[in-house]
Amino acid sequence: MTETLDTGTIAAASPFDLAAPAAYAAWRDAKLSMAPRGLDDLRVGIRDPARLSEAEKTALDHHLGRANMALFRFAQPPEDVEHALLELGAQFGLDRLDRNLCAHDTGITAITVRETGTDKAYIPYTTRPLSWHTDGYYNAPERTIRAWLLYCDADAADGGENEVMDHELAYIHLRDHNPEFVRALMAADAFTIPANDEGGEQIRPDQTGPVFSVDPSTGALHMRYSARSRNVIWKDDALTRDAAGVLRDLFSSPDAPIFRHRLAPGEGVLSNNVLHRREGFRDDPTTGHKRLVYRARYYDRVRPVV
What does the binding site for Fe ion look like in residue numbers (CB under 5 A)?
135
CB of 150 to Fe ion, least distance (A): 8
CB-nearer residue toward Fe ion: 56 or 135? 135
CB-nearer residue toward Fe ion: 70 or 187? 70
Contact in structure between 27 and 221 (CB atoms under 8 Å): no
CB of 25 to Fe ion, least distance (A): 32
CB-nearer residue toward Fe ion: 52 or 64? 64
CB-nearer residue toward Fe ion: 52 or 263? 263
CB-nearer residue toward Fe ion: 127 or 178? 127
CB of 199 to Fe ion, least distance (A): 25
Q: What angle do CA 224, 225, 226 make, to 5 degrees?
A: 150
Question: Residue by residue, what is the 3-state secondary structure of the chain?
Answer: CCCCCCCCCCCCCCCCCCCCHHHHHHHHHHHHHCCCCCHHHHEEEECCCCCCCHHHHHHHHHHHHHHCEEEEEECCCCCCHHHHHHHHHHCCCCCCECCCCCCCCCCCEEECCCCCCCCCCCHHHCCCCEEEECCCCCCCHHHCCCEEEEEEEECCCEECCEEEECHHHHHHHHHHHCHHHHHHHCCCCCEEECCEEECCEEEECCEEECCEEECCCCCCEEECCECCHHHCEECCCHHHHHHHHHHHHHHCCCCCCCEEECCCCCEEEEECCCEEEECCEECEHHHCECCEEEEEEECCCCCCCC
- Nearest Cα residue to 169 out of 19, 4, 33, 3: 33
CB of 276 to Fe ion, least distance (A): 6
CB-nearer residue toward Fe ion: 135 or 163? 135
CB of 13 to Fe ion, least distance (A): 32
CB of 51 to Fe ion, least distance (A): 28
CB of 128 to Fe ion, least distance (A): 13
CB of 286 to Fe ion, least distance (A): 28
Residue number of the CB atom closest to Fe ion? 135
CB-nearer residue toward Fe ion: 135 or 168? 135
CB-nearer residue toward Fe ion: 135 or 283? 135
What separation in angstroms does the CA of 236 have from each of 205, 206, 239, 293?
Answer: 20, 16, 9, 37
